[in-house]
């Protein structure tokens, strides 16, 4: 390991921490959780970079933003850094999640392992189709009536709403989430939502994954 210093001006200004940075923090957290699980106590940015195919300068820069500089010649303490990232990402408390739309996608998300695990809890689904109300996903998440959204959000103390309806209904769902006081919305509908100040929306673009594989296939085709 060479040095654990930032390579670029760290700011500490949380406004400047982008979506991409947050995504990288999640990746670092997964790497550190793995290292902790195999009993490793310290790690350098160079080793993190090499083992997990990351960029060591980027790691140092990202972690320096959070006041984590490591120790020269030793690196980062794995458990300490992991705990720090858990707190930075706000995963040291449970976020309660409600899914709007009990179609194929909503049902699949209700049972998705990573959504009902350390830090997150799916509290229910909501739908406006009377035939779906009262049904349960395979893992037992119940479909509740859309009409009762405000009281459901209040009673279940929901933090995050997921939009799993079609593009036409997505804005109505977002607005209803915002009206009911939610500050964070995850959108799976293929549409751009008009967001309100303070009610953050993150849209999932699954197509990017296919594009990455297309890039790989192109290189196979080009390079043999």
- Is residue 74 at the binding interface for its own copies, with CB under 8 A as the rule? no
In whole angstroms, the minimum distance from the beta carbon of 20 to its own copies comes to 8
Choosing from 33, 40, 69, 91, the residue that interacts with its own copies (CB under 8 A) is 91
| 95 vs 196 by CB, closer to its own copies | 95
Nearest to 180 by CA among 202, 155, 205: 155
Smallest separation, CB 131 to its own copies (Å): 16
25 or 193: CB nearest its own copies: 25
Least Cα distance to 118 among 98, 94, 99 occurs for 94
The angle at the Cα of 122, spanning 118 to 128, to the nearest 5 degrees, equals 165
Select the residue interacting with its own copies from 13, 38, 39, 104 (CB under 8 A).
104
Closer to its own copies by CB, 42 or 176: give it. 176
Give the residue, chosen from 13, 19, 131, 168, that forms a contact with its own copies under the rule CB under 8 A: 19
- The 128-147 contact track toward its own copies, x by CB under 8 A, reads --------------------
Q: Which is nearer to its own copies, 42 or 135 (CB)?
A: 135
The answer to whether 22 contacts its own copies (rule: CB under 8 A) is yes
Residue 51, interface with its own copies (CB under 8 A)?
Answer: no
Q: How far is 11 from 17, CA to CA, in rounded Å?
A: 9
Contacting range for its own copies; rule: CB under 8 A; set: 39-47, 65-73, 145-153, 181-189: 181-189
Positions in the binding site for its own copies (CB under 8 A): 14, 17-20, 22-27, 29-30, 53-55, 88-91, 95, 97, 103-105, 107-109, 111-115, 117, 119-120, 159-160, 167, 183-186, 190, 198, 200, 202, 204-221, 223
């Amino acid at each position: 390991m060479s040095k654990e210093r930032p390579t670029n001006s760290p700011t500490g200004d949380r406004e400047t921490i982008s979506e991409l940075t947050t995504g990288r923090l999640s990746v670092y957290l997964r790497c550190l959780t793995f290292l902790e699980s195999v009993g490793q106590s310290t790690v350098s940015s160079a080793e993190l970079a090499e083992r997990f195919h990351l960029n060591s300068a980027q790691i140092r820069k990202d972690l320096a933003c959070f006041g984590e500089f490591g120790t020269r010649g030793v690196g980062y303490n794995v458990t300490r850094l992991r705990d720090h990232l858990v707190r930075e990402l706000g995963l040291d408390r449970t976020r309660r999640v409600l899914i709007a739309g009990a179609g194929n996608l909503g049902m699949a998300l209700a049972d998705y392992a990573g959504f009902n695990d350390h830090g997150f809890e799916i509290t229910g689904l909501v739908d406006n189709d009377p035939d779906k109300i009262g049904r349960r996903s395979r893992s037992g998440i119940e479909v509740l009536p859309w009409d009762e959204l405000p009281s459901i959000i209040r009673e279940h103390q929901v933090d995050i709403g997921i939009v799993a309806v079609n593009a036409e209904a997505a804005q109505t769902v977002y607005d209803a989430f915002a009206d009911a006081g939610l500050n964070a919305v995850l959108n799976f509908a293929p549409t751009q939502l008009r967001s309100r100040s303070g009610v953050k929306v993150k849209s999932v673009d699954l197509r990017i994954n296919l594009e990455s594989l297309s890039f790989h296939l192109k290189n196979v085709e080009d390079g043999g």
